Amino acid sequence: MRHVAALAGVGIKTVSRVMNDEPGVSEATRQRVLQASRQLNYQLDMAAGSLRRSGRQTLSIGLLLPSVANPFSSEIHRALEDTLSERGIAVFAASLDDDPEREKALVAAFLGRRVDGMVLTPIGRNQAYVIPEHSRDLPMVFIDREPVGIEADAVVTDNAAGAARAAAHLVGHGHTRLAYFGDTPEIQTARERRRGFLEQLGQAGIPTSTVYVREGLRDVESARLAALAVLSSDEPPTAIFSSQNLVTFGVMRALKELGASRRVALVGFDDFALSDMMDPGITVIAQHPERIGKLAAERLLARIDGDDGAPRTYVVPSELIVRGSGELLPSY
């Protein structure tokens, strides 16, 4: 900036005024400054600015996702970006990989960069460790899962209700022998989905004890093996609900291997690309990552702008998408 000032033959503060479009600069001076700044290819240093400026906004926020490469996460990321970029806010994105240590380290890294706020997917059992930051007035919005041990805004899918819809759908097509394949119950969303599914079956008069429940499935392969085992048993289920993308893929593979794709009904939680190109198309409970991301961004902006209402959890409804696999009738 000093250089620009020197070149334009004005004071440093005048350059600041021009760069920030502040009033009180004559058009002639203004042009001279702009000319000089272009010539020197000068650009304001935001960091230095926000250092001095009161309020100290850095116009950047931190985003913590299970993985930036995960399609569900990256759609949330995209929606957040779209909403925030309108305000000129840049997004630091990072992947957690289910590692609570990483979670803490990344929170610290973002804090050190003085982000204006954070959006995070909690993974540790307890998020109380961020209380100091949170009460220090750093806006935070949790997504996908509600935080434990801390009062903060959260944006989540109606996991239980969505799973219940899947249950009702399958029962409505006459199924009475059902199976639940799920992720580890360590994860809040997985617990909710199981609960919603089983409770709805209970209400439909299907004893929970007759439902085959298999949990702890974290990837395609484990889900595939689990499904193969159950489907080859004496009394295999006529319908399966899988609580998550990768689990759904595993079950699909098992069904295909056994040639049972058209015999055993399947409803998966989470939509995915090409689901309609499968044979049959896969019926799913779709989440709406765009809406989650957008809502999270809006809440974060509101908090940044000073909204200090009581923290709330916002629920984004899921949606049943009928494609064929969930409408197969029971065959014994």
Partner DNA sequence: ACATTTCGTGACAACGTTGTCTCATCGTTA
Partner DNA sequence: TAACGATGAGACAACGTTGTCACGAAATGT
Interaction site with a second copy (CB under 8 A): 41, 43-48, 50-51, 58, 60, 67-71, 74-75, 77-78, 81-82, 85, 88, 90-95, 108-114, 132-133, 136, 249, 252-253, 256, 272-274, 277-279
Complex with DNA: residue 10 or 264, whichever CB lies closer: 10
Complex with a second copy: residue 118 or 171, whichever CB lies closer: 118
Minimum gap (Å) between residue 58 Cβ and DNA: 12
Q: Which does 249 bind (CB under 5 to 8 A by kind): DNA, a second copy, none?
A: a second copy
Q: List the end-to-end C-alpha distance of the chain, in Å, as a whole number.
A: 79
Q: Which does 74 bind (CB under 5 to 8 A by kind): DNA, a second copy, none?
A: a second copy
Residues of this chain that bind DNA (CB under 7 A): 1-2, 9-14, 16-17, 19-20, 23-26, 28-30, 42-45, 48-49, 51-54
Complex with DNA: residue 54 or 209, whichever CB lies closer: 54
Q: Which two tokens stand for residue 189?
A: 């969303």
Q: Which does 23 bind (CB under 5 to 8 A by kind): DNA, a second copy, none?
A: DNA
Complex with DNA: residue 6 or 229, whichever CB lies closer: 6
269 in Cβ contact with 320 (< 8 Å): no
Q: Which does 310 bind (CB under 5 to 8 A by kind): DNA, a second copy, none?
A: none
Q: Which does 128 bind (CB under 5 to 8 A by kind): DNA, a second copy, none?
A: none
Minimum gap (Å) between residue 43 Cβ and DNA: 7
Minimum gap (Å) between residue 201 Cβ and DNA: 55
Give SS3 for 213: strand
Alpha-carbon Rg for the chain in angstroms:
26
Q: Which does 57 bind (CB under 5 to 8 A by kind): DNA, a second copy, none?
A: none
Task: Report the candidate in 297, 264, 259, 304 with the shortest Cα–Cα distance to residue 282.
Answer: 264
Give kind and range of the element (H or E) at residue 95: strand 90-95
Angle between helices 71-85 and 289-304 (to 10 degrees): 40
Q: Which does 136 bind (CB under 5 to 8 A by kind): a second copy, DNA, none?
A: a second copy
DSSP 183: S
Distances (CA, A) of 141 to 100, 135, 261: 18, 13, 40
Q: Which does 77 bind (CB under 5 to 8 A by kind): a second copy, DNA, none?
A: a second copy
Complex with DNA: residue 10 or 163, whichever CB lies closer: 10
Minimum gap (Å) between residue 308 Cβ and DNA: 22
| Backbone angle region of 160, left / alpha / beta, with phi > 0 → left and psi within -120 to 50 → alpha | alpha
Distances (CA, A) of 289 to 15, 183, 271, 306: 44, 19, 10, 26
Complex with a second copy: residue 62 or 182, whichever CB lies closer: 62
181 in Cβ contact with 190 (< 8 Å): no
Minimum gap (Å) between residue 220 Cβ and a second copy: 10
Minimum gap (Å) between residue 198 Cβ and a second copy: 29
- Which residues have C-beta within 8 Å of that of residue 167, sequence separation ≥ 6? 178, 196, 197, 198, 200, 201, 204, 241
Complex with DNA: residue 8 or 201, whichever CB lies closer: 8
Strand order in the sheet with 265-269: 212-214, 178-181, 239-242, 265-269, 283-286, 319-321
Cα–Cα distance, 274 to 292 (Å, whole number)? 22
Minimum gap (Å) between residue 120 Cβ and DNA: 22
